[in-house]
Structure 1
Amino acid sequence: MKGGELWVQSLDGDGAARALTQGATETRFWGLAEFIAAEELSRQRGYWWSPDGKQLLALNVDERDVPVKTRAQIFSDRTTMTQQRYPGAGENNARVTAWTLQVADGRMTPLPLPSDAEYIARAGWFGDGTPWLQTLTRDQHKLALTEYAHGAGPGRTVIDERDPAWVEVHDDLQEIDGLTLSGQPALLWSSEASGRRQLVLVDRRTGERRPLTNEPEPVAHRVCSDGKTVVYAAARERGRSRELFAIDLNGTSRPLDGAQPRQWRDARGDGDCSRVLVTRGAWGEPPTLSLQAVSAAKAGAKPVALPGDAPDALLARIVPKPQVVDITAADGRTPLNALYFAPLDGKAGPHPVITMAYGGPGTSTTNWNWSRDTALIAYWQRRGYGVFTLDTRGMQNRDREFTRAHRLAFGAVDVNDLFAAVRQLPKQVAGVDAKRIGFFGWSYGGFLAERAMLDADTPLASAVAVAPPTDWTLYDTAYTERYLGMPQDGKGGQTDAYRQANLVMRAKLLTKPLLIVHGTADDNVLFEHTLRLTEALQNEARPFELMIYPGKAHGIAGRSAKLHLYRTIDAFFARTLAR
């Protein structure tokens, strides 16, 4: 790619490079993923070679109608104004079109998208040389797999996946050569139609589905397949563990060697899925790599451990010992995953607690995998705090009902579950001082922290919010609309979902200590979020604390900045959770 165009160059050095496409401008380009595809749909590319190497399936991106946002990157010695084509919730997305390109002569053929398609989530070629696209509607209630016979339109819908909340995109599509349906290889696909994500086999001609897996908990994703066996990862222990399995096309599955409770395993397969590279983590145990055979005949062979840096000897001495806590969601029936870490300062009597939760969709933090917060938890234990970690409804690795709890409900279900958990904790764990429970959250967790404090009924004593969204109309289309829908109510105002999640409108409800932290060059959650809430709190004469990091982005990277950040948080909790 050069200058927004796709170029080809013979590998034998015969002839000069030549452009396959033309017409690129400042706002129009070929072969790259647009912002939304890369940021929210996990599609990082915009072209795919055909199996015979004679054609390209390429995407053309036109950003002319995407609003230009100007943001300030504030450093200690300068301010840089950056302009970016950024589609905020309810605004225009880039227009993306699909084409097949003949490498020999550059001949281009358009692939017409379904009339309701807004996003191209995935693209590729079937083994017989037929190009395909996976497209999402703007509301993300429908994901369609469309194929184009002879590399031209109109397309034919092979799979029509629907969900009244939203459809999750995935990378599980694969042709299964060992099973022929209607004269073509079966397609491997994943679906949540059963209530939890499972793998199914699909007839490419008729669309008829045949269940493949029947796991008691959701399948995480396909790892690989050799055409007769599929290796996949699936949740265990209510989403707190992940294990690896192999299944034949008759539905007979077996765990890969090494399965055991309270661990987190994932893998990537080699070209023919005969071996997998396994990553294994566990609580207090950093991930390790091993090479493992898939074949049952070789299952007795020991995995080959791959060398890596040994954990620091200090780790074994400080690893926090978790206590599983039985917590029920605010609905009174759904169990939530929660862990508690008792203080280790040797003092008797009621003690303060720091609660840690993310709360948002797309991830889970309370599980048996290695946690980057291990050392932080251990430090707070030695400072005399109990540490309470929690996954609220809406987070990942559970069934569909659980993961769809955020639908039109940012700042509602998550906050209700957090409050319910904090109120249950003193009844479950001896010594917890119910009046000295704080909260620490980052990104969506920062939103949760602020929302929890901007509530007249909060049971929290104080909270720290790092890089928090405050007004979801400032965030991008695909992420925000997936969960909250369009922001406009058709009458010139915002919908209830956006008003409910707008923290600026709740500023007058702050009555307890709140520390807000933000990097001034954050290009994910813009600094504008914090500026809006800061102004609202000042207009309401509500005292709060603010720490900014000049020139720092969403992660506030850098050893010195991180050290200062955690010392600031430490000092804040020492003041606000003191007896």
Structure 2
Amino acid sequence: MTGQPSLPLSFPRQHARTQRFSLGAPRAFSVSPDGSRVVFLRSRGGTDRANVLWVLDLDAGREYPAADPAALLGGAEEELSAEERARRERSREGSAGVVAYAVDAAVELAAFALSGRLFVAELRGGTARELDVPGPVADPRPSPDGRWVAYAAGGALRVVAADGSGDRAPAEPENATTTWGLAEFIAAEEMDRSRGFWWSPDSDALLAARVDDAPVRRWWIADPANPSGAPAEVAYPAAGTPNAEVSLSLLRLDGSRTDIAWDRERHPYLARVHWSADGPPLLLVQARDQRSQAYLTVDTATGATRVLHADEDPKWLELFGGVPAWTPDGRLVRIADDSGARVLAVGDRALTGPRLHVRAVLDIGPDDVLISASAGPEAEDPETGEGHVYRVNERGAERVSEEPGWHSAVRSGAVTVLASSATDRPGASVRVLRDGKQVATVLSYAERPVLTARPSLLRAGARGIPCAVVLPSGHRDGDGPLPVLMDPYGGPHGQRVVAAHNAHLTSQWFADQGFAVVVADGRGTPHTSPGWEKAVHGDFAGATLDDQVEALHALAGRYPLDLGRVGIRGWSYGGYLAALAVLRRPDVFHAAVAGAPVTDWRLYDTHYTERYLGLPQEQPEVYARNSLVTDDGLSSPAEETRPMMIIHGLADDNVVAAHTLRLSSALLAAGRPHEVLPLSGVTHMTPQEQVAENLLLLQVDFLKRSLGL
């Protein structure tokens, strides 16, 4: 008897089971200062969710595992605490095993949590062991000298010796609403600050954040599919409502404590903390409206702070990775908006100008600063969607990443780990450079996609909107016009037009179903200049939608686009934009798939929403104008209704399901037909394999039906 031939693997199935081709790819690199080791995370295969902690020995030219979760847990399933689940949701972490780790200054000791238990790994020897401490453990971090490990557990910040002895709590919660050493919701979700404590360079003290959630209003997220279960209580700081109270204290290992003082009334947001041997502790604190911020130095003897530098902006001040920090000779490193450009500033000098758009600081050496940047407003012949790594000093900027594409890097001393993606090959290649010369590569075990993306990257319209156009595989010049699928994110911090193959795989799959797919990064997305990003101030509904329309019409003259059949899909801000498109411009858009859309900005969080729209109690008309559930939101005539599918995870604690329920109620009251697809037990990430696969299939079916394909 012969077996049935296996069916070829479909892209939706592969896309789901590989978690968007992220499984098996190396990430989270650390380089030892002596240049002998590179440490990283990678699972053992393209469908294996469990990350292993690996060491690449550059001198011996070999890789070896330092911590394998299967061995450490004895094959048992991971058990995650509520705090750890929340941390992973904030960081959009869908994998398992060792999902994060921290190292000492020499990169010889690593600490990490598995199933709420604390483990350390000796990186030179490749051995790992558990430390018996109270749990569940979150965010363990070794001291710089490797003698101690600090971690958060049960609301307390605790410290244990690296040999497992002497566990104690330098700070314990006073009540049920207080925690030490953990980032509050909006710091992790919106400020890109996932940490809540920082070791002193001498390993004798910690700066620790104390968070009191008592002022934050409580929301209740139920699971309607399981009515016997109690709703989950969530402290959610919605726009215009109180935030958590965040303070900072210096906790010495001798048991003493010094509270850090700054004007928390004026600058309540603790956005960044930096503590290195090159200077005193640095804080970056922001006003609630994010139009002013201060760089503070801390006197560790008294807890007093001094303003080192202050910034103001009439719209808002952006936060960046890797700054603030000190140079080895004690100068402040920051990223600033200056004369229409985003520049790197060291001390009192800007070291870059309008040819570069600086995105983050990657490393600070004695002779240069390593940054990531894209083309600035005055770049010569900028390539659309490219991002590069540069070495910058007083003499200028030198590009480290030579090939076209999208690049990132980690560096320590003479060794740089350079990860590079391009449009003509899947995944990312990882090369290890010493003094600029390649000495090793880090293998990826990620699966090769079953289809090949063929995006055309260009700028469209009078504004030069960055776009990616994806046509069906095998499409030939002269073929008839194609129905169009706009596939944007389209909002702040969400760049979709990048010179990387895998970024366009889903768009290619949709194209292969018979669409011309257009991805347009309009104003508000992180491209080119501060002015481009800040054009959405107070005006989500106008600027971002106008740019989708402009890009569509501009591209119609160059590509076979059927403007009589235009659909749009998106998730999160992209879901908001998709719903907005068919409600405000039914003359242009004929169907929409809105996934986890923000429909009422009064229901979204403080730090994000108020940055762009202000306080709802002070500017209610701005919120009404940008909402989908007000009369302003439903502004097109009722007879011009367009099909809309709204998708939402009922367990979403970021964009809660109330957004979709309010939109559905408003549409029903206005007599507008629509479909709602509720996802039981699904959060904002949709990591479940079957859900992720079937969502793609259901969207295609809806779009084909709605556009008459």
TM-score by length of 1: 0.88
Choose which of 657, 666, 673 in structure 2 pairs with 1:543: 673
Deviation at 1:508, TM superposition (A): 6.6
Aligned to 1:193: 338
Q: Give the SS at the match of 1:358.
A: coil
Deviation at 1:278, TM superposition (A): 1.0
Contact in 1 for aligned 2:282/2:325 (Cα 8 Å): no
1:102 and 2:282 are equivalent in the alignment: no
Choose which of 204, 210, 216 in structure 1 pairs with 2:349: 210
2:297 & 2:168 partners in 1: Cα distance? 29
Aligned to 2:154: 3
2:303 & 2:696 partners in 1: Cα distance? 57
Deviation at 1:54, TM superposition (A): 2.3
1:496 & 1:573 partners in 2: Cα distance? 34
Contact in 2 for aligned 1:488/1:495 (Cα 8 Å): yes
Contact in 1 for aligned 2:420/2:430 (Cα 8 Å): yes
Q: Superposition pairs for residues 75-474 of structure 1, below 5 Å?
A: 75=225, 80-113=230-263, 115-127=265-277, 130-170=280-320, 171-177=322-328, 179=329, 185-202=330-347, 209-214=348-353, 216-236=355-375, 237=382, 240-248=385-393, 250-256=394-400, 258-261=401-404, 263-270=405-412, 273-283=413-423, 284-293=425-434, 295=435, 299=436, 301-309=437-445, 311-312=447-448, 315=450, 318-328=451-461, 333-344=462-473, 348-374=479-505, 376-429=506-559, 431-455=560-584, 458-474=587-603
Which residue type is aligned with residue 340 of structure 2?
G
Contact in 2 for aligned 1:76/1:551 (Cα 8 Å): no
Change in Cα spacing, 1:27 to 1:326, as seen in structure 2 (3 Å) is: closer
Choose which of 625, 630, 645 in structure 2 pairs with 1:500: 625
Deviation at 1:471, TM superposition (A): 0.2
Deviation at 1:97, TM superposition (A): 1.3
Deviation at 1:399, TM superposition (A): 0.3
Alignment RMSD: 2.3
Identity of aligned residues (%): 30
Deviation at 1:25, TM superposition (A): 1.1
Which residue type is aligned with residue 492 of structure 2?
P
Deviation at 1:225, TM superposition (A): 2.3
2:403 & 2:275 partners in 1: Cα distance? 38
Deviation at 1:114, TM superposition (A): 5.1
Deviation at 1:7, TM superposition (A): 2.9
Aligned to 2:180: 30
Change in Cα spacing, 1:325 to 1:199, as seen in structure 2 (3 Å) is: closer
Deviation at 1:439, TM superposition (A): 0.7
Which residue type is aligned with residue 658 of structure 2?
E
Q: Give the SS at the match of 2:612.
A: helix
Deviation at 1:345, TM superposition (A): 6.7
Which residue type is aligned with residue 351 of structure 2?
L
Cα distance per residue 1:288-309 (max 9 Å; x no partner) = 211112x3xxx3x335222222
Contact in 2 for aligned 1:343/1:385 (Cα 8 Å): yes
List gaps (5 residues or longer) in structure 1: 180-184, 203-208
Contact in 1 for aligned 2:260/2:304 (Cα 8 Å): no
Q: Give the SS at the match of 1:167.
A: coil
Deviation at 1:423, TM superposition (A): 2.5
Change in Cα spacing, 1:129 to 1:67, as seen in structure 2 (3 Å) is: same
Cα distance per residue 1:95-128 (max 9 Å; x no partner) = 1111222321323344333541111011233526
Change in Cα spacing, 1:79 to 1:519, as seen in structure 2 (3 Å) is: farther
List gaps (5 residues or longer) in structure 2: 1-151, 376-381
Bigger mean CA deviation after superposition, 221-230 or 480-489 = 221-230
Q: Give the SS at the match of 1:156.
A: strand
Change in Cα spacing, 1:385 to 1:107, as seen in structure 2 (3 Å) is: closer
2:583 & 2:174 partners in 1: Cα distance? 48
1:446 & 1:287 partners in 2: Cα distance? 28
Contact in 1 for aligned 2:182/2:196 (Cα 8 Å): yes
Choose which of 513, 530, 534 in structure 1 pairs with 2:643: 513
Cα distance per residue 1:11-64 (max 9 Å; x no partner) = 4666x4333224521111212111111111111222222222222212211121
Which residue type is aligned with residue 288 of structure 1?
S
Q: Give the SS at the match of 1:111.
A: coil
Cα distance per residue 1:208-253 (max 9 Å; x no partner) = x1122236120121111221122222113366101112123x2333
Which residue type is aligned with residue 265 of structure 1?
H
Aligned to 2:73: none
Which residue type is aligned with residue 579 of structure 2?
E
Cα distance per residue 1:488-522 (max 9 Å; x no partner) = 13xxxx52221111101134736111111111111
Deviation at 1:310, TM superposition (A): 6.4
Which residue type is aligned with residue 289 of structure 1?
V
Deviation at 1:72, TM superposition (A): 1.6
Q: Give the SS at the match of 2:319.
A: coil
Deviation at 1:130, TM superposition (A): 2.7
Deviation at 1:545, TM superposition (A): 1.6
Change in Cα spacing, 1:126 to 1:303, as seen in structure 2 (3 Å) is: closer
Deviation at 1:344, TM superposition (A): 4.2
Which residue type is aligned with residue 626 of structure 2?
A
Change in Cα spacing, 1:125 to 1:346, as seen in structure 2 (3 Å) is: closer
Deviation at 1:576, TM superposition (A): 1.7
Which residue type is aligned with residue 270 of structure 2?
I
Contact in 2 for aligned 1:354/1:388 (Cα 8 Å): yes
Bigger mean CA deviation after superposition, 155-164 or 189-198 = 189-198
Choose which of 696, 703, 706 in structure 2 pairs with 1:566: 696
Which residue type is aligned with residue 513 of structure 1?
P
Contact in 2 for aligned 1:223/1:267 (Cα 8 Å): yes
Which residue type is aligned with residue 253 of structure 1?
A
Contact in 1 for aligned 2:584/2:634 (Cα 8 Å): no
Aligned to 1:20: 170
2:531 & 2:475 partners in 1: Cα distance? 42
Change in Cα spacing, 1:558 to 1:311, as seen in structure 2 (3 Å) is: closer
Contact in 1 for aligned 2:453/2:504 (Cα 8 Å): no
Cα distance per residue 1:287-346 (max 9 Å; x no partner) = 1211112x3xxx3x335222222653x65xx42333345422xxxx42101122223476
TM-score by length of 2: 0.73
Change in Cα spacing, 1:113 to 1:131, as seen in structure 2 (3 Å) is: farther
Change in Cα spacing, 1:23 to 1:520, as seen in structure 2 (3 Å) is: closer
Aligned to 2:20: none
2:475 & 2:248 partners in 1: Cα distance? 65
Deviation at 1:93, TM superposition (A): 0.5
Contact in 2 for aligned 1:423/1:459 (Cα 8 Å): no
1:134 & 1:503 partners in 2: Cα distance? 35
Deviation at 1:169, TM superposition (A): 1.5
1:17 & 1:381 partners in 2: Cα distance? 57
**Count of aligned pairs between the two proteins:** 543
1:73 and 2:216 are equivalent in the alignment: no
Which residue type is aligned with residue 323 of structure 1?
S
Contact in 2 for aligned 1:66/1:85 (Cα 8 Å): yes
